[in-house]
Chain A
Amino acid sequence: MLCGGERFDLARTGLARTERLNGWMFIMPALVLLGVFMIYPILWSLWMSFQVGRGMNLSFGGFANILRLTQDPVFQRALSNTFIFLIVQVPIMLVLALIFATMLNDSKLWGRSLFRTAIFLPCVTSLVAYSVLFRSLFLADGFVNDFLLGLHLISEPIPWLADPFWAKIVIIMAITWRWTGYNMIFYLAAMQNIDRSIYESAKIDGVPTWARFWYLTVPMLKPVILFTSVISTIGTLQLFDEVNNIPPNAGGPSDATLTLSLYIYNLSFRFMPSFGYAATVSYVIVILVGILSYFQFMVVRDKRR
């Protein structure tokens, strides 16, 4: 009571006003930069998404771009490809990351910091270098085919990058290879905060290993799993680098790996520029991110609240 009254009085003094002004002055540079480089482009692109026309030749088109979305088979291709990547790759990657984290959290494991580093390293390697490497590995006469042929697992080379189905598989393997370790680090960090005696207690009480993982580790990591699934979803919706660099022709073969981001890039820079429509497609990604994140929060939300 007293404390609140004092603060109230302070707020009315000149001193408080000066302090408030100083506060704003301190964050002003950051605010200006944010405004110029983030908020302004966001609003500008929103406005752009209602523009039609080619190149610099723009005019307001109302909902024309949104109508165009519904009639554009390439957009629908990109959308469905993006969803396939999302639905197949994100769960595989997160489950793998969780399993690796559990194994590498075992203090009895020999050389675990070596393994941790090895699994984490891909996400800090050069994107172009790894893309080139993946492309050469999966060439028709590349290492992977040679290896599988050598083991007699396959009788003829798999057309990895020439076949729409296999090309998707290669992309999924590539992003999984690249980002599993990154997610694993979050899980490991969270696991190290769990009191070890929780597991010891469960062990003494006869809770089997799988149940310790499923009923203890997974629920206790729920907030981190939510976090990683949201950032992975966002990352996959924005998938661009791999599909642009790994297939011999970006997005190929025959648009089998075309994603929304790559389509936006093509619309803006590769084809005759269509900035307005490209902005509309970007807003599709924004809306998808919003919807999917909301659902993920709903799914893991604490039922008691």
Chain B
Amino acid sequence: MTGLRLRGVRKSFGVVEVIKGVDLDIASEEFIVFVGPSGCGKSTLLRMIAGLEEISDGELFIGDDKMNEVAPSKRGIAMVFQTYALYPHMTVRENMGFALRFAGTPKDEIARQVAEAARILELGDLLDRRPKELSGGQRQRVAIGRAIVRHPQVFLFDEPLSNLDAELRVHMRIELARLHRELNATIIYVTHDQVEAMTLADRIVVLRDGVVEQVGAPLELYDDPDNLFVAGFIGSPKMNFLKGEMEKGAVRLIEHGDIRVPVSVAAAPGTAVTVGIRPESFKADGSAALDLTVELVEHLGGETLAYARHGHGQLITVATDNDRGLASGDGFSARFNPEALLLFAADGARIR
């Protein structure tokens, strides 16, 4: 199978640079997810790989071949669009078999391929329906089926689940993970939803404003983010960021009564830092504590989220171990282990 290499890839629309130099290696059979806020250039990058947008600068290799100038149909890829892009006047069967007719595939071979894709995607009963007679999830599966019959080396997905309701999204996520195992293909998947990224990806590429912020396995990004942006983007509910100042062997939390929490990072005393702590890092047996007053409590059943602050400081999210006793107005001590803190310099880079 086939991996991809991107070297200094750039894209400008007129004078606006949208992709600002992306270097990336994607291994064969890897499930890689591009994630980032809306408008950061995920679709553009994917469309450049597909050949739907020209590459302004840099090099794209699929397998060993440079693909910058190669026509989309010759790149060994298939793409699934957010809008599904089904042919409205064709049945499911015709939708899936249509492109094969132009690849010189014999009729009975097309029928076999379509039947195989229908089996994998459980579309057998729907083959003679038109797209408008299908539900959103079924249309999505047809779009995937249309990609599968071509046996591409690389599958490209652009926010394929965005138009589905929450429940169906979870279901399709599981389906996609299964499909990846079954197809043994390289998958590049674009989403703005970090939960989708975390659950599906072998590796995640976090993009912001056309720049790769970090590449890594989901838990690597969660445990060990390179910068403030990645730390804030990955994880739900979002990480809390507190103001701090370095002292010798400790960080002083300015907005929390100047409490000192011991940390072991190399930063000069007096440096202003941002201190990150995840809501779920608060543990009852922690050795340090923030003194907070509860403002709002959200009972999610399995866990309880408390939104609390110290005095007039900023709002802190605390995921308690299902402490159903908390009520708004209560004072409580949010305990945590100092090792759970992540420190970031003023420019957003992680201080390790």
CA distance A106 to B77 in the complex (A): 24
Q: Which one of A202, A204, A207 lies within 8 Å of B50 (CB-CB)?
A: A204
Asked whether, in the complex, the Cβ of B83 is within 8 Å of the Cβ of A204, the reply is no
Q: How many whole Å from A128's CB to the nearest CB in chain B?
A: 43
Interface size of A by CB at 8 A reads 18
Residues of chain B with a CB closer than 8 A to A195's CB: 83, 85
Interface residues of B in 73-92 (CB under 8 A from A): 73-74, 77-79, 81-83, 85-89
Residues of chain A with a CB closer than 8 A to B50's CB: 200, 204
Cβ-based interface call for B13 (8 A): no
State which size class the interface on B falls in.
20 to 34
Asked whether, in the complex, the Cβ of B83 is within 8 Å of the Cβ of A206, the reply is no
Say whether, besides A200-B52, A201-B79, A204-B78, A211 and B87 are in contact (CB < 8 Å): no
CA distance A139 to B133 in the complex (A): 59
CA distance A200 to B158 in the complex (A): 13
Asked whether, in the complex, the Cβ of A205 is within 8 Å of the Cβ of B73, the reply is yes
Asked whether, in the complex, the Cβ of A207 is within 8 Å of the Cβ of B98, the reply is yes
Encoded as 1 (CB less than 8 Å from any B CB) or 0, chain A from 20 to 51 comes to 00000000000000000000000000000000
Residues of chain B with a CB closer than 8 A to A206's CB: 73-74, 99, 102-103
Asked whether, in the complex, the Cβ of B72 is within 8 Å of the Cβ of A203, the reply is yes
Say whether, besides A204-B50, A205-B73, A206-B73, A197 and B85 are in contact (CB < 8 Å): yes
CA distance A296 to B182 in the complex (A): 49
Q: How many whole Å from B311's CB to the nearest CB in chain A?
A: 52
Q: How many whole Å from B317's CB to the nearest CB in chain A?
A: 38
Cβ-based interface call for A208 (8 A): yes
Residues of chain B with a CB closer than 8 A to A215's CB: 98
Cβ-based interface call for B150 (8 A): yes
Q: Which one of A198, A208, A222 lies within 8 Å of B87 (CB-CB)?
A: A198
Cβ-based interface call for B93 (8 A): no
Cβ-based interface call for A62 (8 A): no
CA distance A195 to B78 in the complex (A): 18
Asked whether, in the complex, the Cβ of A200 is within 8 Å of the Cβ of B81, the reply is yes
CA distance A204 to B154 in the complex (A): 12
8 A-B pairs with CB atoms under 8 Å apart are A197-B83, A203-B52, A205-B150, A206-B74, A206-B102, A206-B103, A211-B102, A216-B87
**Which positions in A face B, CB cutoff 8 Å?**
195, 197-198, 200-208, 211, 215-216, 219-220, 222
A-B contacts besides A200-B85, A215-B98, 14 pairs, CB < 8 Å = A197-B83, A197-B85, A198-B86, A200-B50, A200-B72, A201-B146, A202-B98, A204-B72, A205-B99, A206-B73, A207-B102, A219-B89, A220-B88, A222-B89
The 10 closest A-B pairs by CB, nearest first: A205-B99, A206-B73, A197-B85, A201-B85, A197-B81, A219-B89, A204-B72, A198-B85, A204-B79, A200-B52
